[in-house]
Structures are given as C-alpha cells and as structure tokens.
Structure 1
C-alpha cells in the first residue's frame, strides 16, 4: 500500500528550453537523500503537456536510471481521450523500473461519471501495472465522484489509489470509511495535508516537497502516527510556502524556488508558461526563508 511523502517532480530545463539532465539528476538525488517515499514523473508539475513523447520517455528513463530502485517511481499519464491513454501505455511498455501509473481524469471534454468509469476501466484492463486515479477538477473541469472512485477501486484489483486534489476533507473522510482494503488515499493539496492525514489519508503527492522534502517527510511521519502536536508544529513551519508556491500557475513558482535554492540551474519553462514575475519572486524568497 502506497504511503508517505511523494514528490510531484519538476522537469528542469536550461535557458534554451531543453531538458537539463544534470539538474534532473541533482534534484532526484536531493529527494532520495531526504527520504521521500516516491517520485511522480511527468505529472502536471513536470510540464508533461509541454514535452514531446520522445522527451517524456527520455526523462522517465533518466529518472529510473538514477533511482536504481531506491524509491517508488510513478509515471503520470495525461490523456484527453481513452485512446490517447492507451497509446501512452504502449510507449511505456517494456520500461522496467515503473512502479505505478497515475492517470488523470480526461480534461476539457467533460465526460459523465459513466464515461469516466468506462475510461478508467478500459485503462485498467490494458495494463498489469497498478493505477492511481488522479482527480483535480480545478485543472480538468471534471470531478471524479466518490461513488465512481469506489466502484473502480472495488471492481479492478490494479486500481490501487487516488490522488485527491480537491482539498475537500469531508470527501476524504467518506472515502476512508468506504474504501476497499489496500486502497491508498493521497492528498494532492499541500495546504490541507495535515487535516487529510488526521482524517485517515495515507500521504501526499506534493509540490512543496520539491523544495522542502525533509520537512514534508516529517509532516507525513507525524501525521500518519497520529502525533498531532508534532505534525502541527511542522505544518505551521511550512504554511508560508503552501500558498506562495501557487501565487502563479504551478510549476512556475516551484521552479523558481528550486533555482533560488541552487538545486536546478534555471527557472526556465516552456510557453505558454512564463518565468515568475519579480514581485512574486520576492514572495517566494520570503516564504522559503521563513521555512
């Protein structure tokens, strides 16, 4: 069962907009040294929609090679249609070192709940790898209902978890009470992580852990152990960073923060994402220093 702190990894780029593999190596090692439980590669934070299929595969293979099986590797699958999801699965076939696939709800097209069920059911039947559902209605304009989540979790043994980025703790509580055994509930919202853990959630797929992995690992450890006082102390330390990392669209601020920390060589993104504005650079700098 997947638990703990998992980092939604950025994809470092040089000033020409090409993948910076030296910085990627440094970032992966930084995460592993600080004892995160896993990495999501090619998620939203990794700018997956801005990379070509060839670049995505190269990044995935590079991270797997650096990891050498030390922590869990989760590959983001972003697909607007079921067929494009299946096409992505084919590209990943034969790559060893992948532990999970994280499949986001199809965006833009606004499917019904039955359409979402059939989408994920089709994907589940097409792979032996375990699948984590990813519900992020703020980005996709589609909300995977709790009923559909539980239906999928019950009917497919390789649908093993949910990344819930709604920030709705009441929904977390409902899923904790009704999920099948072994089904992981992972927060996709750093700001409500403490409440999520204390409600019975199993961990986080975090943006902030790019910058502060040791602190996020500590927060998860205390929260999962039910040590509220200690967890609250760590959470209060991190609170200045949570909102600031979303002062502009993710991953704009987190990339600049990593550059400021000298973990990656540049804050470069690909259009239409642009570098963090000077005004917000001051905010991120202050938040990092507060932590």
Structure 2
C-alpha cells in the first residue's frame, strides 16, 4: 500500500513532464515549418519577380528587332527571315524534303545553325527521302503530307543521282520534278529553297544505259529551277570549284563513296554561306 502511495505521485510528475516537453517540441516543430514555408514563399516570390522582369524585357527587344527587320524586309537573308517569322508567330517551321539525309554531318550543322539563328521555336519537319528518285517522289504523292503541314520554308534536295540510278530519261525527270516543284510552289505562305547535291566522286563519269551520269540529271534539274525562278543553293558547283586546289578526292574517304569530316564541313559552309547572304 505504501509503495502504491509513493508510486502514484511519481507517475503523475512523469506524465506532467511528458506533456510539457511534448507541447514544447510540437511548438518548436510548428515554428520551424512556418519559417521553412516563409523561406520557400520568399524564394518563389523572387523567382516570379525575375521571370516577370525577363518577360517584360523580351517584348521590348522583340519590338526593336522586328522594327529593324521590317525596315529592310526585302533584303533579309534566309536566316534573318526565319528569325523574323519566328518573332511574328513565336515559331517558324522548316520542312526538309527530297534527297537529303538528315543524319549527315553537314545537314546536322545546318539544322543547328537554323535553331541558333531563331529567337523563338524553330520546328524542323522531316519529309526526306534519301536515295529516292523523281519518279517515286511524284508517283507516291510525297508532296501531299508536306503541303498539309504548310511549313514556312521548304528545303528540297535534288535527286540527281537517284534519277541516274533509276535510268530514266531526262524528259521524264523534267516532267516529274516540274510537277513536284509546282505543287511546292503553290504553297503561298511557304518559301522554297532547292539544294544541289554535293559531288559524288565515285559516280563521276559512271554512265547508265542512256549514256548519262548523275551530272546530266543535275544540269537538267538546275535548268528547271532557274526557269521557275526558284532559289537555288549551288552546293555541287561551289563544292567542285572550292575543291580544285586540294583536289576533289581529298574530301572523300579511301573508297570515294562518302565525305570526310573536312568534306562535310565544306558542304556545311557552302550552304550556311548561302543562307546567310542578304538579298540584293
């Protein structure tokens, strides 16, 4: 009985102390949580203020650049026109079409340059058919899906070598390519750029059954482009000219079937230079 009398007060004191320290611990926890939430709120507030400040600056910069572009809109380079449209629409779309391999180094370099030259989003659309000739591009109605997208720019790679390999006549090449170009040109809000292929070392003077090499088809395709007053990137002609000093073969691997890194760089430089030129 005496042990119970002694034990009860001890237990009461222990309970009181537990409640007291538990209450203090809970209060401290609430205080810490409140400070953390306040700190997070302040950080969020700072970030929001910085973002608001940045977004307030962009329109002013955009207006300034837009005004500069609009003052010389007739003489803008292709890169500048891409940037101009990206500012006007907050996006610009570029479709690659025809005999172009998007995995080649020179093409990857050009796509990177396009993205670097645009203030807002540059959407790159893949409608390429590496190694596909004019007949297949025409008969498979490959232009249809591209037209549905109605891109701002179309970069069309000439299929000169595929036409030579298919062994079709130059008149047929003209018919098929003209049909494709007419369809692309009908896109009123799109700008068409035709790109020559770079020289194919091992195919030079390699004739098909019609005694034509790929350059015969290239020359006919070039005539079609010029007749239609379309923009042409003279990659083949300029590459051949600039390679004369070192020799064309120096830009190809030992088998002569693909470009070295120097050849890829030269092709990229030629196309980049054309896209950077301001209109007369």
TM bucket, shorter chain: 0.3 to 0.5
- TM-score, normalised to structure 1, is 0.35
Q: Which has the higher contact order (CA 8 A, sep 6+)?
A: 1
- Bigger Rg, structure 1 or 2: 2
**Structure richer in helix, relative to its length:** 2
